[in-house]
Structure 1
Amino acid sequence: MELTDILYEKKQGTAKITINRPRVYNAFRARTVREMIWAFRDAWDDNQIGVVVLTGAGDKAFCAGGDQKERDSKGYDGSGGLAGGIGLEVEALHAAIRNIPKPVIAAVNGYAIGGGHVLHVICDLTIASDRAIFGQSGPKVGSYDAGFGSAYLARIVGEKKAREIWYLCRQYTAEEALQMGLVNKVVSHENLMAETEDWCRQILEKSPTALKMLKYSFNADSANIEGISQLAMGSLAMFYNTEEAMEGRNAFVEKRQVNFARFRK
């Protein structure tokens, strides 16, 4: 597959996937998601690969979620409707990250916001730069992830904190994320990849079959969320076709204050 939106490299048992759209804070479009799915599946099929790293290009962002400039009332690729969904194969991407029988480490080098925040949540482990910023934005731009992005998040940080993250759309520092159990470790920005590589090395010293079965065991406890996610993505496809959803998107693109008040009448 020709890769334009990501960088993909394999070295000494580690596959590294880098979202390569730094000019838009590594926000993803439909093609970006398809390329990430391809890369995860390639790493899945390669028996020489024992661990996968997901990160973002540049110094500012891990991933800022869906690129709002690519979105309209028919989703991110113009397909719209129930058949086309939201125009992003996010369910397939989330499934690839969760189900690949190898640990996935998110190396968060900057902003992990919106759908980008969901990506790091789904990864098995998260190592954060001390410059990293975490948070949700969906309700601000007329969107949401009512599947793994919320239900699984609640298992990690607790119900109260997860509701705060989604309802208020605040942003949190790496240290705050560490305190709430959202990340495994915080390191200096300059040491992020070295620390990640060290974790990869330690993982590669372990039994691949043991790691695979442990991952499947961890996933089994939250497997029911997949069904919730399917319902959530179906409802999101319909929501995107409303004036309320487009108000959030348009306000973001036009760089103006959003006005959801009229939808409470």
Structure 2
Amino acid sequence: MEYMDILFDKHGGVVTITINRPEVLNAFRPRTVNELIHAFEQAGDNPEVGVIILTGAGDRAFCVGGDTKEWKSGVGYTGASWVGIGLPIDRLHRTIRSVPQPVIAAVNGYAIGGGNVLQVVCDLAVASKTAVFGQVGPRVGSFDAGFGTAYLARLVGERKAREVWMLCRRYSAEEALSMGLVNAVVEPEQLMPTVRQWAEEILALSPTALKITKASFNAETEHISGLTQLAFGALGLYYTTLESKEGHQAFMEKRKSDFSLFRNLRQEE
């Protein structure tokens, strides 16, 4: 596959995969997600690779989730059908978890919405002090009721995870560290050197032991994969509703969403 939306760099036993769409804060479109899946599969199947790093191009964003330009109101993302929402993001989550190598997220800026979920499903995360985290789904007519919620609760605790999703606030890198969302916070210029140092430490360890260790960690939360498939099926249906359409249109029109109608809709019927 020829990559247009990502960069793939292999240096020794380390592969760095970079979402390369800085003009849209590294938001992903269907092609981006398919390229990421392919890149992770290629790196995961290569016995010479011991660590995979995921990051975003530029210094403003790691990833801000789905590209709204690819969205069609009442339908979902380009290519959406009964098969899926048009973005195989649930497959990408499973791929990141299933590759045998540890995956480190180098969070260099905004990690919002689906971008935050991407770093959540990585094995480790190091953030720049400029990083900002948060979820926006209920504000814009979307949600991630799979790894984005259930696994997030494993990282930060049930109460905090509910706060993240039910208030849609933004959190600084230091706040993310204190809640257990990331492993470390460093100065912006030290982000990639630090992540590469972590990668070198990992390369000194037994790859088979790490593979089994990762699988062992995943086993306890693997049921979330099934929940994710159910959640994305529901999301595809939700995207066809007027309620989701209101959230998306409000975002595009830069106004506050008005969901009041939908709280009373069933009562009026």
TM-score bracket relative to the smaller structure: over 0.9
Whichever residue aligns with residue 179 of structure 1, its letter is S
1:141-178 CA-partner distances (Å, limit 9, x unpaired): 10000000000000110000000000000000000000
Report deviation, 1:241. 0.4
List 4+ stretches of structure 1 deviating above 4 A.
none
Alpha-carbon distance in 2 for matches of 1:143, 1:237: 10
Q: Which residue of 1 aligns with 2:240?
A: 241
Q: Which residue of 1 aligns with 2:76?
A: 75
In the alignment, is residue 4 of structure 1 matched against residue 7 of structure 2?
Answer: no
Q: Which residue of 1 aligns with 2:157?
A: 158
Whichever residue aligns with residue 158 of structure 1, its letter is G
Whichever residue aligns with residue 116 of structure 2, its letter is H
Q: Which residue of 2 aligns with 1:116?
A: 115
Report deviation, 1:79. 2.9
Alignment of 1:164-175 (within 5 A): 164-175=163-174
Q: Which residue of 2 aligns with 1:16?
A: 16
Report deviation, 1:242. 0.6
What TM-score comes out, normalization by structure 2 length?
A: 0.96
| Secondary structure at 1:4 match in 2 | coil
Percent identity (aligned):
60
Report deviation, 1:76. 1.2
| Secondary structure at 2:185 match in 1 | strand
Q: Which residue of 1 aligns with 2:50?
A: 50
Whichever residue aligns with residue 229 of structure 1, its letter is T
Return 5+ residue gaps in structure 1 as ranges. none
Q: Which residue of 2 aligns with 1:141?
A: 140
The count of corresponding residues between Structure 1 and Structure 2 is 263
Alpha-carbon distance in 2 for matches of 1:162, 1:5: 30
What TM-score comes out, normalization by structure 1 length?
A: 0.98
Whichever residue aligns with residue 32 of structure 1, its letter is T
Return 5+ residue gaps in structure 2 as ranges. 265-269
Report deviation, 1:17. 0.6
RMSD: 0.8
Alpha-carbon distance in 2 for matches of 1:74, 1:235: 13
| Secondary structure at 1:179 match in 2 | helix
Whichever residue aligns with residue 80 of structure 2, its letter is S
